[in-house]
Structure 1
């Protein structure tokens, strides 16, 4: 028998996944948040509609949260009304993980504890902001960064953010060590805390650095949105800020080629992989890696691209003996680039 739940807040996401959701849960009522627009409830017949304030605080029926973009505000609003956090449940699409493989538990402070069983290991982290949930779905439910290799490798995570990708890669037996770079201190601190939640077999692989990568060593002050740390920039499109600004963060950047070359020289025979999601900084980092001959040591690059300029770096990378796949939906400003080193390229051909 399906569990009966109250739908907490309306969203386009609910109607998109209506058939999938209603196979898992029986919606008995719709509780609209203060930010929900007025309008009819399409597709839910004989279902009472009321506001969050009308939810019985002492009731037992659980409240299903489907919205991704407003998940933080919905959780906070329900908790502020005295709803027990144990009654709140988050719905996510069942894609690359079965429901039994992971749990998302809402805490009293409106954060969400994630526990995921994958590849025979358990990984843990805390989600807090909207972009955290988006990144969680991209990495763990859509397998955006998943790759398989029969050779052990060392991975560079350029754009650590709050640590979700590094933790994901650390769960793979063939990823032996990870070097992760994050320029913004609030994101870096959250990454360190998330990594620390994991067992030594996961956390001991990850080496973190509180600086970003660029084409030169420098420091700068940038606008930092604590509520959306997944889109912070240090390159084109960033908003220079004054240090007195409440949302300003000073960040250190180091020359990418110099930093990665030092690591590679300590183990020159290893297989190296780059994951890069650095909100536009790829257009300064990739040319600098070419300058320092770093790409000759890289076997695989998995990258999110920005600003509709992916062809610039796709051509550069292909010229270094890679086969490049690049994709960006016409309605998106971000895309995906995957580059695999051609096995038959000889040193003399580079």
Structure 2
């Protein structure tokens, strides 16, 4: 059976990562990029404007940070809308038919999970969560998941779709992002959305309010604590921080008979959260940690994990960011 002919847009890091999958599933007739030229993977890279000279069945748009801008660019060149595919990859649980452009959004629906992405929320971690499975873990025991840094709700939905997960409790400090998470959760079937409770809170090592600068960066909305240099007329939001130990201790007590999984992706706040948990001596109550760490890691988290009976794996995805996966061997 002949493969579909595709034009690939974007030849950055994801081009290299996705290339084996793309060439296995499709006949690549051209690879185009707005900036890059040269020969990559045996294909001459041309400008996006050259698409008009090719015949194709689909156009795969790879740059997750510019999927909406590239779609508009292609439409202006006369590319049919139904041929433009926002490409997040393909595997046993992720297919190109699962996601599509719908007006000014990207709709994902794989029959189990539904969510929407818009220009401001960007990809919301789709690749990491659904293609790379960065938040997957083995085991079939009844589990609850604490989702610290729930963003627009994709990780919470991923967890809730697992049959052995009975509850997901999420925390997202930014109001607009929290509202998108609620919207995405409510797009889903009752058996998925009823597992999830999400709160408009940040966790840290004190009960306080903070003023933050919010910066939409396509992939996500990030924030930094305001200083005297902040522009208080632009992208400023008040967030509410609760002491992590005060929030987590009653949850751990209520679900002591379940496997407790804690996921953290909270833009550097993981250190304050661990400080609070260490002070309350509740780190040992967790079975599994999945932590995206940020900034300069000084071994604080690893030292704490070792002292509390964990073994861990640490991977760096950049100089200032990476993952720690930790398993409590004392709890078994």
Provide TM-score, normalisation by structure 2.
0.86
Which sits farther off after the overlay, 5-14 or 220-229?
Answer: 5-14
SS of equivalent residue, structure 1 residue 113: strand
- Please tell me whether residue 104 in structure 1 is matched to residue 99 in structure 2: yes
Q: How does 1:160-199 map to 2 (within 5 A)?
A: 160-199=150-189
Separation (CA, whole Å) in 2 of partners of 1:172 and 1:16: 27
The structural deviation recorded for 1:81 is 5.3
Which sits farther off after the overlay, 198-207 or 214-223?
Answer: 214-223
- Structure 1 partner of 2:69: 73
Contact 2:214 2:221 in 1 (8 A): no
- Structure 2 partner of 1:339: 326
Contact 2:287 2:331 in 1 (8 A): no
SS of equivalent residue, structure 1 residue 202: helix
- Structure 1 partner of 2:4: 3
SS of equivalent residue, structure 1 residue 249: strand
Q: How does 1:107-186 map to 2 (within 5 A)?
A: 107-109=102-104, 111-117=105-111, 122-129=112-119, 132-133=122-123, 135-186=125-176
Separation (CA, whole Å) in 2 of partners of 1:31 and 1:269: 54
- Structure 2 partner of 1:226: 216
The structural deviation recorded for 1:161 is 0.4
Which sits farther off after the overlay, 299-308 or 173-182?
Answer: 299-308
SS of equivalent residue, structure 2 residue 126: helix
* Gap change, CA 1:276 and 1:54, over 3 Å in 2: closer
- Structure 2 partner of 1:306: 294
2:284 to 275, 285, 296: 296
1:284 to 269, 272, 281: 272
RMSD, aligned CA: 3.0
The structural deviation recorded for 1:18 is 4.0
Residue deviations 1:86-130 (CA, integer Å, cap 9, x gap): 221133443463538x61111121x2111235xxxx111112348
Separation (CA, whole Å) in 1 of partners of 2:8 and 2:330: 52
Contact 1:213 1:285 in 2 (8 A): yes
Q: How many residues align?
A: 329
- Structure 2 partner of 1:348: none
The structural deviation recorded for 1:334 is 1.1
The structural deviation recorded for 1:338 is 1.6
Separation (CA, whole Å) in 2 of partners of 1:105 and 1:149: 33
Separation (CA, whole Å) in 2 of partners of 1:38 and 1:314: 40
SS of equivalent residue, structure 2 residue 115: strand
Separation (CA, whole Å) in 1 of partners of 2:202 and 2:138: 27
* Gap change, CA 1:43 and 1:153, over 3 Å in 2: closer
Contact 2:37 2:47 in 1 (8 A): no
* Gap change, CA 1:53 and 1:95, over 3 Å in 2: closer
Q: Which runs of 5+ in 1 are unaligned?
A: 346-350
Separation (CA, whole Å) in 2 of partners of 1:150 and 1:37: 47
Q: Which runs of 5+ in 2 are unaligned?
A: none
* Gap change, CA 1:30 and 1:247, over 3 Å in 2: same
Separation (CA, whole Å) in 2 of partners of 1:311 and 1:129: 36
Provide TM-score, normalisation by structure 1.
0.82
The structural deviation recorded for 1:199 is 0.4
Residue deviations 1:141-161 (CA, integer Å, cap 9, x gap): 111111133421221111010
The structural deviation recorded for 1:301 is 1.1
* Gap change, CA 1:6 and 1:184, over 3 Å in 2: same
Contact 2:172 2:199 in 1 (8 A): yes
Residue deviations 1:13-56 (CA, integer Å, cap 9, x gap): 33554454234333445555xxx1263454566x8956549749
